[in-house]
């Protein structure tokens, strides 16, 4: 048997390769789970809640999983995939804050923000450290819904912004235990994509802890958003 | 002597009954901001876990959270306020009513 001396630099190099490979596998695993799937934004739920959000809007797929550790803050995982000329990915951890809530007798308005860190890259071109941030404001009564969202992902190779504005009406006032239905029109822009602006008519349903949105961009791309609290 | 004993027993039972009221109490809480049933799920989740509560009902139209207390148990106003706030909403008024839970539910 021949014993070969391996320089410590080579071991460090191999360890680094293994780490990158492991991170790649982790990233791909998270994103594979997201293949069916920008998720419906409900960044903070009630104290103690877990929330899972899965969505596909045009060329952007998202999976988010958070634990609200108070009624004003949540922490969890966020992954995104952008289907462009080069498919790009982000996966990381994120912290969300409910910055302000107005609880009015017949309406509620909220301002949220979030920051996160993780890895992003193009398919087949490795990954690099990345940051993510978002801002959201909404106003809702039992018949009217409005929201604006902005989200940024930045890394050495990936730079994407997702901006959207939504307005909707409920055709009827549903009670707590009834099926809620909303008709919503969303306008979305993703920086760096071919389509400059997506106009998205969609229908939103929710009952109990389950939430589902179905729609399509005017260019025919599917929109599906699912959310659950538990 | 028998009459005296009977009077004493009656007085004792009346005293005991007063010390531990054994009836179901309905609590009506008015809450601001409850416009969406999906967002108000926390109210149900939190109150269902409270040992003094046997029933919870959320009425979005009347902006009410109705609670039914278990026999011989009571929830404090402080707990009600804390649970509503933990759910993300703003309690406005807490009142104990004589109606049964079902009567209060049907308005």
pLDDT averaged per 10 residues, chain A (length 230)? 46 52 48 41 91 90 96 96 87 98 97 97 91 97 97 92 96 96 95 81 96 94 94
What is d(CA B8, CA A214) in angstroms, rounded to the nearest whole number?
72
Contacts of B50 in chain A (CB under 8 A): none
C-alpha closest to that of B27 among B87, B100, B97: B97
pLDDT in the model for residue A26: 47
CA atoms of A223 and A61, how far apart (whole Å): 10
Whether residues B38 and A209 touch (CB distance < 8 A) is answered with: yes
CATH number at residue A202: 2.40.160
Q: Sort out which chain A residues have CB atoms less than 8 A from B66's CB and list them.
A: none
Cβ–Cβ gap B41/A105 under 8 Å: no
Q: Do A105 and B89 touch (CB under 8 A)?
A: no
DSSP-derived 3-state class of residue A11: helix
- pLDDT for position A192: 76
Chain B CB contacts of A45 under 8 Å are 39, 41-42, 88
Q: Could you list the residue range(s) of the whole structural domain that residue A192 is in?
A: 8-229
Whether A2 is in a domain gets the answer no
For residues B61 and A72, what is the distance between their CA atoms, to the nearest angstrom? 25
User: Which stretch of DSSP H or E encloses residue B19?
Assistant: helix B2-19
Domain for residue A25, yes or no? yes
Residue A165 lies in a domain: yes
Q: What is the pLDDT of residue A72?
A: 97
pTM of structure: 0.80
ipTM above 0.90, yes or no: no
pLDDT at B107: 79
> 3-state class of A71 per DSSP?
coil
Domain assignment present for residue A96? The answer is yes
B21-106 is a CATH 3.30.70.100 domain: yes
A115 contacts A98 by C-beta, under 8 angstroms = no
User: Total structural domains in chain A?
Assistant: 1
Instruction: Identify whether the C-beta of residue B89 lies closer than 8 Å to the C-beta of residue B32.
Output: yes
Domain locations along chain B = 21-106
């Amino acid at each position: 048997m021949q014993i070969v001396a391996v320089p410590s630099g080579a071991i460090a190099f191999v360890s680094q390769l293994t780490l990158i490979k492991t991170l790649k596998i982790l990233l791909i695993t998270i994103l594979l789970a997201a293949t069916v799937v920008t998720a419906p934004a409900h960044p903070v739920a009630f104290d103690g809640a877990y929330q899972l959000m899965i969505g596909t809007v045009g060329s952007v797929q998202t999976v988010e999983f958070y634990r609200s550790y108070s009624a004003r803050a949540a922490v969890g995982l966020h992954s995104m995939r952008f289907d462009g000329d080069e498919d790009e990915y982000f996966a990381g951890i994120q912290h969300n804050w409910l910055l302000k809530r107005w609880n009015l007798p017949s309406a509620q308005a909220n301002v949220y923000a979030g920051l996160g860190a993780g890895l992003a890259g193009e398919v087949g071109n490795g990954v690099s450290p990345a940051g993510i941030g978002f801002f959201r404001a909404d106003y809702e009564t039992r018949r009217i819904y409005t929201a604006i969202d902005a989200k940024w992902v930045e890394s050495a190779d990936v730079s994407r912004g997702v901006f959207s504005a939504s307005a909707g009406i409920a055709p009827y006032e549903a009670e707590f235990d009834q099926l809620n239905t909303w008709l919503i029109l969303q306008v979305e822009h993703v920086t760096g994509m071919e389509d400059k602006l997506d106009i998205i008519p969609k229908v939103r349903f929710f009952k109990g802890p389950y939430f589902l949105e179905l729609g399509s961009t005017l260019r025919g791309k599917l929109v599906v958003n699912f959310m659950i609290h538990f | 002597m028998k009459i005296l004993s009977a009077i004493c027993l009656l007085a004792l039972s009346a005293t005991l009954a007063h010390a531990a009221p054994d009836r179901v109490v309905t609590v009506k809480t008015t809450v601001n901001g409850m416009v969406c049933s999906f967002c108000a799920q926390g109210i149900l989740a939190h109150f269902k876990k409270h040992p003094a509560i046997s029933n919870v009902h959320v009425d979005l139209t009347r902006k009410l959270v109705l609670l039914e207390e278990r026999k011989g148990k009571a929830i404090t106003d402080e707990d009600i306020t804390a649970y509503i706030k933990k759910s993300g909403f703003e309690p406005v008024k807490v009142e104990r009513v004589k109606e049964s839970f079902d009567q209060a539910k049907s308005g």
